[in-house]
Amino acid sequence: MDFQPRGIIPAMVTPVTPDGKIHVGALRKLTNYLIDGGVHGLFPVSTQGEFYALTFEEKKKVMEVVIEETGGRVPVYAGTGAVTTREAISLTKMAEAIGVNAVSVITPYFIKPSEGELLEHYTSIAKSTRLPVLLYNNPGRTGINLSPEFVARASKVENIVGIKDSSGDLTLTAEYIRRTDEKFSVLAGRDTLIYGTLCYGGKGAIAATGNVAPKLIVEIYEAFQAGDLKRALDAQFRLAPLRLAFDLGTFPVVIKEALNLIGIEAGVGIPPVGGISPKAKEELKEILKNMGLLK
């Protein structure tokens, strides 16, 4: 398969209205804000997008809106992971029918399948679709950490084209790169490690902070590709406070609050997640001001 994920792909939030409905207008505004920021793809129904809190129909709606608003300007990836193989296949088929360009499949959560069961899980999903499939490693959220050996085996499945690694373990990320070939895309999932991942040979990042600061994250990638390592590293350091601010609230609400502050109505987290405290909001404002994102 020729499709190779690369560049900066924001893991989009799912804006919601005060009564908990998908905020279609804000989602369209966010889509254009990100594309205008120079991103290389969009990733709705992500972990940052609260995929676990959305119904099947809500996921469908989010994908449809993003695809329509994007109008082919950049590739659209979509999260289709689920606890069971059959649900993941249903979501993947739905995403393909809507017209996404690729899917990302997080490991099952709550349960802990063996590597043999995981390989069968991913192989079955890949065989159910013509779309490129990305593995998604996020052990902090799922309790499963994909080994380099597993990723090397899974990379041999025809349309498994890459992995998003949110482990925060740069040694593990590097092993994924070392153990797979050049056609397989390893993407940073921890926003503080984009520069490091690129140095090891990674192809880019799927980044939550890209919702708020797309131009800055794109600068990390494009400066690196241009050989300006100093500028790339400087951009990475300028981004760090926003990623470290995630501790100001319950994941994934901080990025929503930051979007609200810069003028994109993202709402709050889907209950039981809510907003952040007034004190935390003031701290977040200062971070955004220091980054030049808020006057």
pLDDT (0 to 100) of residue 32: 98
Supply the residues annotated as catalytic.
Answer: 136, 164
Q: Which of 15, 82, 64 is nearest to 255 (CA)?
A: 15
What is the edge-to-edge ordering of all strands in the sheet holding 185-188? 7-10, 204-207, 185-188, 160-165, 133-137, 102-106, 77-79
Backbone angles phi, psi at 42, to 5 degrees: -130, 145
CB 287 within 8 A of CB 245: yes
CA angle, corner 6, sides to 54 and 243, nearest 5?
A: 60
pLDDT (0 to 100) of residue 18: 93
Q: Check residue 291 and report its DSSP letter.
A: T
What predicted TM-score, i.e. pTM, was given to this entire model? 0.96
Structure tokens, 2: 């020729």
- Grouping H, G, I as helix, E, B as strand and the rest as coil, residue 68 is helix
> Which of the four CATH numbers 3.20.20.105, 3.20.20.70, 3.30.70.270, 3.40.50.300 does domain 7-238 have?
3.20.20.70
pLDDT (0 to 100) of residue 295: 81
Whole-angstrom distance, CA of residue 229 vs CA of residue 249: 33
Per domain, the residue ranges of the chain are 7-238
How confident is the chain (295 residues) per 10-residue block, as mean pLDDT? 93 96 98 98 97 97 98 98 98 98 97 97 98 98 97 97 98 98 97 98 98 98 98 98 96 97 96 96 97 91
